[in-house]
Amino acid sequence: MAAPKLKHRLIPNEKTVDCTNEDQFSHILNFSESLISHCTTDLSIEGQYIEGAILLTKERLIVTKKKEDVHTVVMELPLEEIGELQVRHMYGNGMLEAKTMDTTMSVARFSRTCAKEVDALAAAFNRLGQDPNTLAEETVARKSSRNEEELTRCPACGRALPPGSDICLHCVDKRKTFRRLMHFAKPYKLQVVFLILLVLGITALQLVPPILTRTLIDQVFPNKDLDLLMKTILILVLTHVSINVFSAIRIRLSGWLGQHIIFDLRTAIYDHLQRLNLSYFEKRPTGAIMSRVTSDTNQLQHFIVQVLPQTVVNITTLVGIGIVLFTMNPRLALLALLPAPIVAILTLIFTRRLRNVYRRVWRRFSDLNALLGDTIPGIRIVKAFTTEEIESARFAEQSDELMQQHIHAVRFESIFYPGISMVMTIGVILVWLVGGRQLILDPESAISAGTLIAFINYMWHFYGPVQALCNLSSMIQQAVTSSERVFEVLDTQPETHSSGGKHIERLEGHIEFRHVHFRYETDEEVLKDINLEIKAGEMIGLVGSSGAGKSTIASLVPRFYDVTDGQVLIDGHDVRDLNLRSLRAQIGIVTQEPFLFTGTIAENISYGLPDVSLEQIIVAAKAANAHNFIMEFTDAYDTVVGERGTGLSGGQKQRVSIARAILKNPRILILDEATSAVDTETEKLIQEAIDNLVANRTTLAIAHRLSTLKNADRIVVVENGRIVEIGTHEELLAQNGIFSRLWHLQTEVSKMKAV
C-alpha cells in the first residue's frame, strides 16, 4: 500500500499561524459580517480527523471544514437561535454544544489539542450580551490566569516544551546561547587562545612527516645521500618530539581549563538553585534538577574543551591537507578526495542509525534500572506477597530485552566500522592503482614514488576529520540543549534573599492574615479570604481535612510562598517587606516527616547554628525528650544518622528535629502534624517535648489528632480554603459544628480502640 500523502500536518505552530490569518474565511462571511472570534477544530462530528474551524460572527455561528485548502461551510446557526454555548470536555476529545429553544445540538467536535481555543470561543459567545467594558477586563483576567497553568506548549510558537522544562528550544536564539556559553570561558581567554594556538601548531606539525618521507624516497635513497638522510632524520625527530611535547601541554591545559570552567558552572548553578523558590523544586523531579548540576555541566565542559578545539583542528587539517595534496598533484588529489563525500554521507547515515541503535540499548538499560529502583525498596511487599518468582521473571524478561538490543547493536557495529574502513581503503587503493600506473607508464610525469607514498599518508589523516565534522551538528545540538537547561536555572528569578527588606532583630510574634487569597500555579484558589489574628505567644491549632489549606496557611508565614492577594503581617509588618533571612531566622518548623541530613546527631541538632556550645545541644535534647535515647547509642551525640547512618525511628527523628527547633529558639513555631506518625507512648514523649517548645512562642500547630491540641489557646477549623470555625476547644464543642463532630468521632474511635 502506497503511503498516502500526509495532508493533515496539524503541527500546532502551523495551526496558530493559520489561525491568525482571517482572510481565509472572507469568502464565507457576508459583506458586512465581522468576525468576533474563531478557532480551529480537528475532528468531524463522526470523529474523523479533518481540518476545520468554528467562526463566531455577530450574526452566525459557522462550522467549516477544509476541502482542498478552502474552508467550506458544514453547518451554520443564527445567533438568535442559540441560548448558550457549552463545551463538553470528554476523554481525548470535546464537543461544542449549542442549547437552542428545545434541544441541545452538537455543533463541532475537536481533540484536546483545540480545547482551549474552543473554550475561549464559547466564552466569547456567552459574554456577547454583556457590557463591552467589562468584556475587555475579563479577557485580560483570563489571559493572566491562563499563564499560570502548567505550560506544556511554548507560548510563542505553540510547539511542545521539552519534558521538565519551560524553555522552548526552538525559540531560543542558538547563537545567543552559544555566546552566553562562551562567557564562562571568558575569564580564561588567554588560556583558550593559547590552547587553540597549540592545537593549530600540533596540526601543522603533523603535516610534516609525510613530506619528509617523500624526501627520503625521492632524494635520499636514490642518491644515497647520507648527509641529507641525517638532516631529514633530525627534522623527523624534532617534529615528533615537539608534537608530543605540545600534546602533553595541550592535555594538561585543556584538563585544567575544563575543570575550571566546569567548577565555575557547577557552583554558579548550585548557588542559584539554593536561592530559588520552593515552587521551582516542587514542579520538577529531583533527578532532573540534579542532572543539571552534574551531567549537563559535564556535557558543556566536554563541548568547550574537547569539541570546540577539535573542530578547529579538524577544519585546519582538512584545509591543510587539501592544499598540500593539490600542490603536489592536482589530478591525484582529486582522485584521493573522491571517496571523501561517500565517507561523509555514509558516516552521516550510519551514525544516525547507530544513535538509534544505542538509544534502544540505553532505554532498555534505564527500564532495567527503573525496575530495580521499584522492587528493591519494595522488597518487603514482594516477600509478603511471595511474588519473588514473578519479580525474577519480570527482571529476566527486561534483562533479556537489554541483551537482545546489545546483540543487535554489536551486529550493527560489526557492519559499520569495517564498512567505513573499506570505503576509505578503496580510496587509497585507487590512488595506488592510478598513481602507480602513472609512475610506471609515464616516468616524465610529476609523480614520484615519494609523492605517491606521501599522498597515501595524508589520505589516512584526511578521513578522521571528515567523520568528526559529520558528527558536529549533533554535538552542537547536545551542547545547546545542555546550556539551555543550565541557563534555565540561572535565569529563574531567585527569592528576594538575604539582601533587602527590613531587618528586625527580635520579632514579638504577632501574626495577622488580612484577606489572604492564595493559589499555587493552577487556577484553583487554595485559600479564600483568610482573616486571622494571632497574638504574640498564642498557640493556634489548625484543623481540617487533608487539602483544606492548613499547611498552605502555615507556609505563608515564613514566606515559602507569597500570597496571591491580601497580606500576611508580622508585628504589623507585611512579611514581604521584611528581610527574608531575619524573618526565617525567627521561625522554627517541625514537620510530620522530619528530615535529617547525613551527619552526627549533634550536627543535626545544631544545623544552621555554628556557634552553639555542646552543653546547649544537650539542654535542647533533654527538653526535646531526646537525650535518653541518644545516650543509648554507642557513639551518643556523635552517632551518624541520615541516609547512610544509623536508622532512627520516626519518633526519635521527630524528637531530634524538635531539639533542633528548641535550640534555634524561634519566636514563631510551626508544627505540621508533628505527632501524627508515632505510637501513643512516643506521642506522650513528643507532646512533652512540644510543650517545652511551645512555651512563650507564637505557635501554629496543624494536627489531625485533636487531642494534641488541648493546650491550644484557640482552634481554627479550615474547610475548602476558608476558615469555618474559630474558638477555644470548649467553645467549639459547644457550637456543635464540624469540630465537635470530629471530636466525638475521634473520641469514639479511641474508645473502640481501648476496648
Partner 1 sequence: MLAGLAPKEEQSNKLLPQEISLARTTQGEISMNLRGTEITNVEISRPFPLSDEHTTMVAFKEADTKKEIGILTNYEELDPSSRQIVAEELATFYFIPEIKRIYHIGEKFGILTWQVETDRGCHTFEVRGRYNLRRISKRRMIIKDVDGNRYEIKDWNELDKHSRSLLETHM
Query: Which chain residues interact with partner 1 by CB under 8 A?
Result: 3-4, 6-12, 43, 47-50, 90-93, 95, 97, 99, 102-106, 111-113, 115, 152-153, 159-164, 169-170, 356, 359-360, 363, 481, 545-546, 704, 741-742, 745-746, 748-749
What are φ and ψ of residue 649, in 5° steps? -75, 165
DSSP code string of 632-663: HSTTGGG-EESTTSBPPPHHHHHHHHHHHHHH
- What CA–CA distance (Å, rounded) separates 39 from 121? 7
| Paired sense of beta strands 640-641 and 599-600, if any | antiparallel
Beta carbon of residue 200, minimum distance to partner 1 (angstroms, whole number): 34
Contacts of 216 (CB under 8 A, 6+ apart): 229, 232, 450
In the complex, the smallest distance separating the C-beta of residue 592 from partner 1, rounded to whole angstroms, is 15
Helix axis angle for 308-328 and 330-337, nearest 10°, is 140
Residue from 498, 549, 466, 534 nearest 713 by CA: 534
Nearer to partner 1, 169 or 382 (CB): 169
Q: How far is the CB of 373 from partner 1 (least distance, A)?
A: 14
108 vs 243, beta carbon nearer partner 1: 108
Pull the grid cell for residue 52.
Answer: 476545520
| Residue 324 CB coordination number (10 Å) | 17
Phi and psi at 498, nearest 5°, equal -25, -40
1 vs 226 by CB, closer to partner 1: 1
CB of 706 to partner 1, least distance (A): 9
Nearer to partner 1, 252 or 363 (CB): 363
Shortest gap between Cβ of 522 and partner 1 (angstroms)? 15
Q: How many residues appear in the chain?
A: 755
Question: Residue 232 phi/psi, 5° resolution?
Answer: -60, -45
3-state DSSP assignment of residue 516 = strand
> What are the φ/ψ torsions at residue 237 (nearest 5 degrees)?
-60, -45
Quick one: 162 or 322, whose CB is closer to partner 1? 162
Nearer to partner 1, 533 or 748 (CB): 748
Least distance to partner 1, CB of residue 513, Å: 23
- Which is nearer to partner 1, 32 or 546 (by Cβ)? 546
Identify the sign of the CA torsion 16, 21, 22, 26: negative
Q: Rounded to the nearest whole angstrom, what is the least distance from the CB of residue 430 to partner 1 in the complex?
A: 35
46: Cβ–Cβ under 8 A, 6 or more apart, which residues?
none
Minimum gap (Å) between residue 82 Cβ and partner 1 = 14
DSSP string over 527-555 = EEEEEEEE-TT-EEEEE--TTSSHHHHHH
Task: For residues 633 and 638, give the distance between their C-alpha atoms in angstroms, rounded to a whole number.
Answer: 9
Q: Shortest Cβ distance from residue 52 to partner 1 (Å)?
A: 12
To partner 1, the closest distance from the beta carbon of 676 in angstroms equals: 10
User: Measured from the CB atom, is 364 or 714 closer to partner 1?
Assistant: 364
Q: Which is nearer to partner 1, 350 or 455 (CB)?
A: 350
Q: Which long-range contacts (CB under 8 A, 24 or more apart) does 745-753 make?
A: 746/705, 746/706, 746/707, 750/707
Which CB, 112 or 250, lies closer to partner 1? 112
